[in-house]
Amino acid sequence: MAQNQYEYIIIGAGHNGLVAAAYLAKQGKKVLVLERRSIVGGSVVTESFGENFQADSIYAGGSLRPDIVKDLKLSLPSVTEEPAFISLQPDGNHLTLNAESIKQFSEKDASRWDEFVRFMDKAASILDAAYATIMPRLPKNMSLHDGYGLLELGLELRLAGRKDMLNFIRALPMSAQELVEEYFESEILRAAIASVAIHNSTLGPMSAGTGYTLIHNWLNRGGLSQVNVGEAGKITIDLSNTLKSFGSEIRTNAEVAKIKIENQIAKGVFLTNGEEISADIVLSSTDPRHTLLKLVGAQDLPPEFVWHTQSIKMRGAVAKIHLQTNGNHGIPEGTLCVAPSVKYLEKAYDSSKYGEISEKPYLEITSVPVRESVKESVVSIHFQFAPYELKNSDWKTESSKVEKVAIETLAEYFPNLKSSIVNRKLITPKDLEETYGLTEGDINHGQLMLDQFLFMRPIPGWSNHKTPIDNLYLCGSGVHGGGGVSGVSGRNVVKVLK
């Protein structure tokens, strides 16, 4: 094969692009991954923002699906015990979400905790099975192959047991508020769980469908807490090393400007520096809107398809603040949330509806413990809601506000925080777009909502990774199975290519 000719080009070295590339490289294919940034990882990256100031810049921690880790023989740390999930209370009390601590707030809730966890684990496993199934291209006629996948899923659901399956289906369209109210009476507990439901979604806990997002986040986290905090970047480093060990190439600082198309067939790519690289098949792990409207272009797509792609809901409303501290902040290890009540969360979300930054935000906090070698500790604050589109201002003007509100809010619980800060790094929704390539700062490449779910993700009728351009496939978070860190859409696309 000629030097600039590959069997597969994968656009984007986020974790999904790397997973797809690694599976293909393992099969002995000639694969090239192209990444616009100078580093690999996409949203799963550990970056340096200064001396001793290293952080999981975007994604707070986690892992890939176990089958992917096994198939690709990755040496990722396994999770032996779920870290604590702690809800901070305005009166200085903290609630750790386990039966023992919940007892202090409500005996009744403590007695229902195990039942709730059992249901959530079950619901997550059902969702996992659905994500592993390639969805048919409804409303097109189903092929035998599609039917077989669905049959397998049907069997899995049947095995899940009738009661659990019904409860799962019922939970999906529910609001997180309704779901938690069915189990618990204590407001603190209800709100803490509801915060996980709205994490990364531009929805409030009273929005329909946050039952689904709760199950989705539970599945990806393996429960409530972020795992392997401070080590997110290891996932994509390990994937790139594996990929290279199979003989494949990754090129950084290689931004794709256009996908080369001839007679509705993808033939390769053109980079922004003018270079042309040919391939039999092109996979894109960038978000569907970017891939289809920018890298392909409306002129090569059917009008109705263009209209659907333009209508994909991208509603970034997340900002991230990393604080390099001297370690004396007083914040315990684990995943912490500022979510004192369901109404508080809903009000935080309300601001985003009006294009405003929440004055009283929902925060999720993780911190990397002080290490022996480095007497400093990084505290990372996930901030919602900070809408990409600001109504009466812009992100240049408002950046300092987000930083201030985040630090002031957290300092109410940890008075030593402010004096412990040595350095800081803010990532706004605009930065998510400009630096991390996320259209409209939407971290899941399209909102996780029931009308952008299963056979409607990324758009109705195109849920099987294919596009109207032959030999061009989608494999990032914006397609079915994706959203969050799991590697599922990267793994699934390879099944379609077979």
Ligand X SMILES: Cc1cc2nc3c(=O)[nH]c(=O)nc-3n(C[C@H](O)[C@H](O)[C@H](O)COP(=O)(O)OP(=O)(O)OC[C@H]3O[C@@H](n4cnc5c(N)ncnc54)[C@H](O)[C@@H]3O)c2cc1C
Tokens for 220, please give them. 């990806």
Nearer to ligand X, 88 or 110 (CB): 88
Q: Which of 294, 291, 286 is nearest to 13 (CA)?
A: 286
Three-state DSSP class for 486? coil
Instruction: For residue 262, list its beta bridge partners.
Output: 265
> Beta strand pairing status for 31-34 and 249-251?
parallel
Helix (H) or strand (E) holding 398: helix 395-411
In the region spanning residues 240 to 269, those forming contacts with ligand X, defined by CB under 6 A, are 255-256
Please, which residues have CB within 8 angstroms of residue 488's CB and are 6 or more apart in sequence?
A: 65, 131, 132, 481, 482
Find out whether 32 and 277 touch, Cβ atoms under 8 Å: yes
202 binds ligand X (CB under 6 A): no
463 binds ligand X (CB under 6 A): no
Tokens for 33, please give them. 């991954």
Residue 486 phi/psi, 5-degree rounding, is -160, -30
Find out whether 86 and 361 touch, Cβ atoms under 8 Å: no
Candidate list 220, 352, 439, 452; residue touching ligand X; CB under 6 A: 220
In the region spanning residues 30 to 49, those forming contacts with ligand X, defined by CB under 6 A, are 34-37, 42-44
Candidate list 101, 444, 452, 463; residue touching ligand X; CB under 6 A: 444
Choose the binding region for ligand X from 122-130, 412-420, 438-446, 459-467 (rule: CB under 6 A).
438-446
**Could you give the angle at which helices 107-132 and 144-160 cross, rounded to 10 degrees?**
160
Over its C-alpha atoms, the chain yields an Rg (Å, rounded) of 22
Nearer to ligand X, 102 or 235 (CB): 235
Q: What angle do CA 143, 144, 145 make, to 5 degrees?
A: 90
458 binds ligand X (CB under 6 A): no
Candidate list 9, 10, 11, 363; residue touching ligand X; CB under 6 A: 11
Q: Which of 299, 272, 267 is nearest to 282 (CA)?
A: 267
363 binds ligand X (CB under 6 A): no
Query: Total residues contacting ligand X (rule CB under 6 A)?
Result: 39
**Per-residue binder mask for ligand X (CB under 6 A), 307-326, x = binder:** -----------x-x------
Choose the binding region for ligand X from 11-19, 146-154, 167-175, 408-416 (rule: CB under 6 A).
11-19
442 binds ligand X (CB under 6 A): no
Find out whether 330 and 377 touch, Cβ atoms under 8 Å: no
To the nearest 10°, the Cα dihedral for 242, 245, 247, 250?
A: 50
Nearer to ligand X, 146 or 210 (CB): 210
**Per-residue binder mask for ligand X (CB under 6 A), 269-298, x = binder:** ----------------xx---x--------
Candidate list 9, 12, 225, 268; residue touching ligand X; CB under 6 A: 12
Nearer to ligand X, 102 or 449 (CB): 449
In the region spanning residues 377 to 436, those forming contacts with ligand X, defined by CB under 6 A, are 432
352 binds ligand X (CB under 6 A): no
Candidate list 23, 53, 59, 385; residue touching ligand X; CB under 6 A: 59
Please, which residues have CB within 8 angstroms of residue 117's CB and are 6 or more apart in sequence?
A: 223
367 binds ligand X (CB under 6 A): no
Candidate list 205, 334, 437, 481; residue touching ligand X; CB under 6 A: 437
Q: Which residues bind ligand X (CB under 6 A)?
A: 11-17, 34-37, 42-44, 58-60, 62, 199-200, 220, 255-256, 285-286, 290, 318, 320, 432, 437-438, 443-444, 476-477, 482-485
